């Protein structure tokens, strides 16, 4: 009946440093009795906690009032000594004291001593009661750096969302959902109190604004309290609607519509956010310039106290003004937890999903600069230091790649690594080095510059890691689907995948980012994207205007664990099971135009998507010359491999007069989440990315891999696209289709040195124009080819092979190719793979060998074009080999990630085998006859 071992296991997860109590419970009655005993103890402790909180807040308020009185006496004494009455003195004599008294009366006792306020140190919500006092509220940490998750603690001591025990019934999941909602309701009550605290002085201030002695002008009041009343009413309505649902909780209760409505009103928050900085600045100025407003603030906002009354007022008022911004973040995290504990067939699930999507999109659009106090740390010397940015970067140290966690503070850059921590101990960081921003400068190091003594992995090893990762993902899915899936096996596989993904992230970055210390020391990082390099450089340069402060290194490094915003290396094993695996297939993007440039320039955009945890450049628009309003209207087809994010970077290209070279400067950058619900539709989804005052308009839609590679024979047999290769070559009286020969010739003539040739997408409209010209056998096709962008020609060749009615290496032989590449004996594999080539129809074989030699010539220029044999195999493999629709249906594969791991990686390996093989002659193949059956 009672599993003491199971109880101890979960107890250790919750309290790593505590011994689990021994409870000998042999029946349901024993368990019930123990439960009642625990509830009784809890009520006693809650009462004691409330009493202590009351005393803490009362004593803090008394101290603050005493200090205020002392401060006023010192001020009055100074005035008496100088025998000078300022205008403020005369104002206070006439109307100050009654005005302050009115504020005090408005507050009432409930607002004076709010036990749930997060303003006093140590006042957490760990032991909050529900409104009926019957059960404990879940832990909600109201400190600025924590999120409102349930109080489950991992081995590193960090708050994490609770993971229900294995075999948890749906009803238990709904109970967990109730706990999440109860905790959120408690924090919502705190938030409403905070909004009331902000609104409290507004009415009296407005009342005096029209008198002869106004404290603040109407304009100042409207600026400081902008949208607070609207936000208060929204949340009061939400609270009043949610509260009865939790008090009368059962399985049929639905709350998703309430959260959806709350999310739909985030436009009010957008207006508040846009005004936030001005509101804080106005409040600070009024506090410094107006003694009446200063005293009003003193009376109302006794939370903490500083010797400098001005600093105290600015901090507290800014802290309260920050609450609405902080609240959206917390609400979004709560939505994530609610979805975890809501069954997918529950009516709430789609509504909560929609609310989460809206909230996440809103948060991603907010400028991080509005978040000044969220990541603050105070040193023993009293300095306040803000964390501006942090993330995992690859540092090159003594020729070896090291994964570091880099923290950018307001006055210095700190490079750290995570210490190995004993089980149950908090993890800590070890500082490797730091540079005060006043001493930091950048060194120019172009992508093309060599990186001496840097450890690099061959391209084929990078590809092998991707294959292993995909294979392990597939194994994990199989284990989960098994009826008697053992978590031990899943954990073992996750550990293997983590090792592979971490190694891939360590060795894939190639873009150099060098920083220099004025004392002569330099440090080199490697990044995967120009986007990240630009972000780090811009963030550092913005902060360098501030002066240098002293460094309390031990305190600073110790605070990194608490302050960090990036918690885990971006690998699959660190993600929750219910998180999106990303999109697999093709993203069609049209870059329409850009506006907001202040002066004419040569402008272009590049597109990046994430793949295996890092970002890869996938497309580039043409350069629009000497304009402030470029209109590209160019469409690109971008292959996605588990991608979740699209980035757009806008560049200005200009000629450097010193060395007569083209220099590209990033003018703006932005990104958008690839929400499957948004992009997975037949219609185009239009969007705008704002970047440094520049707006880029674009449209996108997504096509799954199955649909994008579905081969539909052409109804026009007179063309070449979608027509059997044997028909085309017979009609042309050629061995290789004309389109293949011409595209290869043009690429080798002027595209073989192009960076990312065959990987970077060509403009879709150009590709379609070439397709139409080849289909119509246009006479001026050679002129079109010579004028066309080389990436469009490369894209046309890929499109031709993709649209063949059956793949170049045929449906019939596909299973044999898959078995042949899996053979471990080199001699057997050689015999099999050569015999399979020989079994192809002659037009298919000759065309394949022609393409093979072309791709080898492209790879010979890898130092220039960055296209290795492995890159080329990845691009062409899934196009030249593809299972027939009947074979796909037999596989019963449901997940797109499974499709990738089962099929695509093997297809890449087949083409790679032939690319790495010595030259293959058509005549020699036909001459040699090997007795090897391809029947399977």
Q: How far apart are CA 177 and CA 161, in angstroms?
A: 12
Of 134-148, 641-655, 799-813, the least confident: 134-148
Of 212-226, 790-804, 850-864, the least confident: 212-226
DSSP 248-294: T--TT---HHHHHHHHHTHHHHHHHHHHHHHHHHHHHHHHHH-HHHH
Residue 928: predicted pLDDT: 66
Alpha-carbon Rg for the chain in angstroms: 33
Return the HEC string of 666-714. Answer: EEEEEEEECCHHHHCCCCCEEEEEEECCEEEEEEEEEEEHHHHCCCCCC
| Per-residue model confidence as pLDDT tens digits over 654-690 | 766 555 566 788 998 888 888 776 676 777 888 888 8
**What's the average model confidence in pLDDT over 187-209?**
81
**What's the average model confidence in pLDDT over 876-887?**
78
Ordered alpha helix ranges (H), 83-140:
87-91, 97-112
| Per-residue model confidence as pLDDT tens digits over 635-656 | 888 888 788 889 999 999 876 6
Helix (H/G/I), strand (E/B), else coil: 632: strand
Residue 883: predicted pLDDT: 77
Residue 1: predicted pLDDT: 61
Residue 627: predicted pLDDT: 93
Q: Of the candidates 423, 246, 406, 259, which has an alpha carbon nearest to the alpha carbon of residue 333?
A: 259
User: Which of the two residues, 663 and 811, has the higher pLDDT score?
Assistant: 811
Q: What is the mean pLDDT of the chain?
A: 75
**What's the average model confidence in pLDDT over 372-391?**
63
Ordered alpha helix ranges (H), 482-552:
487-507, 530-543
**What's the average model confidence in pLDDT over 394-421?**
87
Residue 724: predicted pLDDT: 92
Helix (H/G/I), strand (E/B), else coil: 636: strand
Residue 729: pLDDT band by 50, 70, 90 thresholds? very high
Of 107-111, 173-177, 610-614, the least confident: 107-111
Residue 193: predicted pLDDT: 82
Residue 586: pLDDT band by 50, 70, 90 thresholds? confident
Q: How far apart are CA 644 and CA 613, in angstroms?
A: 10
Q: Tokens 């100074």 appear where? A: 78
Q: How far apart are CA 925 and CA 922, in angstroms?
A: 5
| Per-residue model confidence as pLDDT tens digits over 682-719 | 778 888 888 878 999 999 888 876 665 555 666 666 78
Residue 321: predicted pLDDT: 64
DSSP 135-170: SBPPP---STT-----SEE-TTS-EE---PPTT--H
Phi-psi region of 590 (alpha: psi -120 to 50; beta: other; left: phi over 0): beta
Q: Tokens 């002569």 appear where? A: 520
Residue 602: predicted pLDDT: 92
In percent, the amount of the chain with pLDDT more than 90 equals: 20
Residue 613 CA, distance from chain mean position:
11
Question: Cβ distance 124 to 136 under 8 Å?
Answer: no
**What's the average model confidence in pLDDT over 739-756?**
94
**What's the average model confidence in pLDDT over 772-781?**
88
Residue 545: pLDDT band by 50, 70, 90 thresholds? low
CA angle at 574 for the pair 570 and 577, rounded to the nearest 5°: 120
Residue 14: pLDDT band by 50, 70, 90 thresholds? confident
691 CB-side CA count, 13 A: 24
| Per-residue model confidence as pLDDT tens digits over 316-354 | 455 666 677 677 777 888 888 888 888 888 888 888 888
What predicted TM-score, i.e. pTM, was given to this entire model?
A: 0.51
Q: Of the candidates 832, 833, 835, 879, which has an alpha carbon nearest to the alpha carbon of residue 855?
A: 879
Residue 721: predicted pLDDT: 92
Residue 164: pLDDT band by 50, 70, 90 thresholds? very low
Q: Of the candidates 191, 157, 158, 162, which has an alpha carbon nearest to the alpha carbon of residue 178?
A: 162
Domains of the chain: 4-65 (4.10.280.30), 171-372 (1.20.900.10), 376-456+510-574 (2.30.29.30), 583-708 (2.60.40.150), 711-928 (1.10.555.10)
Residue 156: predicted pLDDT: 38
Residue 747: pLDDT band by 50, 70, 90 thresholds? very high
Residue 379: predicted pLDDT: 54
Q: Flag whether pLDDT at 484 surpasses 80.
A: no
Choose the most confident range, by mean pLDDT, from 301-305, 359-363, 907-911.
907-911
């Amino acid at each position: 009946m009672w599993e003491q071992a199971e109880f101890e296991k979960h107890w250790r997860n919750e309290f790593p440093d505590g011994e689990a109590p021994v409870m000998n419970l042999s029946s349901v009655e024993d368990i019930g009795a123990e439960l009642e005993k625990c509830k009784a103890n809890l009520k006693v402790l809650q009462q004691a906690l409330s009493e202590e909180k009351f005393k803490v807040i009362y004593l803090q308020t008394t101290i603050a009032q005493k200090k205020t009185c002392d401060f006023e006496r010192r001020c009055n004494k100074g005035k008496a000594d100088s025998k000078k009455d300022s205008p403020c003195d005369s104002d206070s004599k006439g109307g100050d004291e009654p005005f302050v008294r009115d504020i005090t009366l408005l507050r009432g006792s409930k607002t004076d001593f709010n036990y749930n306020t997060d303003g006093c140190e140590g006042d957490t919500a760990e032991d909050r009661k529900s409104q009926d006092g019957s059960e404990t509220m879940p832990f909600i940490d109201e400190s600025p750096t924590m999120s409102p998750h349930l109080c489950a603690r991992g081995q590193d001591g960090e708050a994490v969302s609770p993971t229900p025990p294995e075999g948890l019934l749906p009803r238990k999941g709904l109970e967990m959902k109730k706990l999440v909602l109860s905790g959120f309701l408690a924090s919502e009550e705190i938030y409403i109190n905070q909004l009331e605290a902000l609104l409290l002085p507004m009415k009296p201030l407005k009342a005096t604004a029209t008198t002869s002695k106004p404290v603040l002008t109407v304009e100042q009041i409207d600026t400081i309290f902008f949208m607070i009343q609207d936000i208060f009413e929204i949340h009061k309505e939400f609270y009043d609607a949610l509260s009865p649902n939790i008090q009368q909780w059962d399985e049929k209760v639905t709350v998703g519509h309430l959260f959806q409505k709350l999310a739909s009103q985030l436009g009010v928050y957008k207006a508040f956010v846009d005004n936030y900085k001005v509101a804080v600045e106005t409040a600070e100025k009024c506090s410094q310039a107006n003694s009446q407003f200063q005293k009003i603030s003193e009376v109302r906002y006794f939370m903490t106290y500083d010797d400098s009354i001005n600093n105290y007022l600015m901090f507290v008022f800014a802290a309260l003004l920050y609450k609405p911004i902080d609240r959206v973040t917390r609400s979004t995290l709560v939505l994530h937890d609610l979805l975890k504990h809501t069954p997918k067939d529950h009516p709430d699930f789609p509504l909560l999903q929609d609310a989460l999507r809206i909230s996440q999109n809103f948060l991603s659009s907010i400028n991080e600069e509005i978040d000044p106090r969220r990541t603050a740390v105070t040193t023993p010397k009293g300095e306040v230091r803000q964390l501006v940015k942090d993330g995992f970067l690859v540092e090159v140290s003594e020729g070896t790649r090291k994964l570091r966690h880099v923290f950018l503070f307001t006055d210095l850059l700190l490079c750290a690594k995570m210490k190995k921590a004993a089980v149950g101990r908090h993890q800590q960081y070890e500082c490797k080095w730091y540079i005060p921003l006043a001493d930091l400068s950048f060194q120019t190091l172009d992508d093309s510059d060599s990186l001496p003594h840097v450890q690099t992995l061959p391209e084929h090893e990078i590809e092998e890691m991707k294959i292993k990762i995909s294979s392990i993902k597939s194994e994990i899915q199989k284990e989960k689907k098994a009826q008697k899936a053992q978590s031990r096996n899943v954990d073992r596989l996750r550990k293997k995948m983590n090792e592979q993904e971490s190694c891939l992230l360590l060795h894939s970055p190639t873009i150099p980012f060098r920083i220099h210390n004025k004392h002569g020391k330099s440090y080199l990082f490697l990044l995967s994207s120009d986007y990240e390099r630009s972000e780090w450089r811009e963030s550092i340069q913005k902060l360098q205007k501030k002066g240098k402060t002293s460094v309390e290194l031990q305190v600073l490094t110790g605070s990194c664990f608490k302050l960090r915003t990036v918690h885990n290396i971006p690998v699959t094993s660190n993600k929750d099971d219910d998180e999106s695996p990303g999109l697999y297939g093709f993203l069609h993007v049209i870059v329409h135009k850009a506006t907001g440039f202040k002066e004419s320039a040569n402008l272009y955009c590049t597109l990046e998507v994430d793949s295996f945890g890092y970002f890869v450049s996938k497309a580039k628009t043409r350069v629009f010359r000497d304009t402030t309003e470029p209109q590209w209207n160019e469409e690109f087809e971008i292959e996605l491999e588990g991608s979740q994010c699209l980035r757009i970077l806008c560049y200005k290209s200009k000629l450097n007069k010193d060395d007569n070279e083209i220099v590209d400067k990033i003018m703006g950058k932005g990104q958008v989440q690839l929400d499957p619900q948004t992009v997975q539709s037949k219609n185009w989804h239009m969007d705008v990315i704002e970047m440094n005052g520049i707006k880029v308009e674009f449209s996108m839609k997504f096509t799954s891999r199955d649909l994008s590679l579905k081969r539909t024979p052409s109804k026009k047999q007179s063309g070449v696209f979608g027509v059997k290769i044997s028909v085309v070559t017979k009609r042309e009286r050629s061995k290789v289709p004309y389109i293949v020969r011409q595209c290869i010739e043009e690429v080798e003539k002027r595209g073989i040195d192009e960076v990312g040739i065959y990987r970077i997408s060509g403009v879709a409209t150009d590709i379609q124009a070439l397709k139409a010209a080849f289909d119509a056998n246009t006479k001026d096709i050679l002129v079109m080819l010579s004028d066309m962008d080389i990436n469009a020609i490369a894209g046309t060749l890929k499109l031709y092979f993709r649209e063949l009615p059956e793949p170049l290496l045929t449906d019939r032989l596909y299973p044999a190719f898959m078995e042949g590449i899996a053979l471990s004996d080199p001699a057997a594999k050689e015999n099999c793979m050569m015999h399979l080539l020989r079994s192809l129809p002659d037009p298919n074989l000759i065309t394949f060998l022609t393409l093979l030699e072309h791709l080898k010539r492209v790879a010979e220029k890898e130092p220039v074009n960055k296209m290795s044999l492995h890159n080329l195999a990845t691009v062409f493999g899934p196009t030249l080999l593809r299972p027939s629709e009947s074979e796909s249906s037999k596989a019963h594969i449901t997940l797109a990630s499974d499709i990738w791991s089962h099929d695509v990686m093997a297809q890449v390996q087949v083409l790679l085998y032939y690319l790495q093989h010595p030259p293959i002659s058509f005549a020699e193949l036909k001459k040699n006859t090997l007795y090897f059956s391809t029947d399977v």
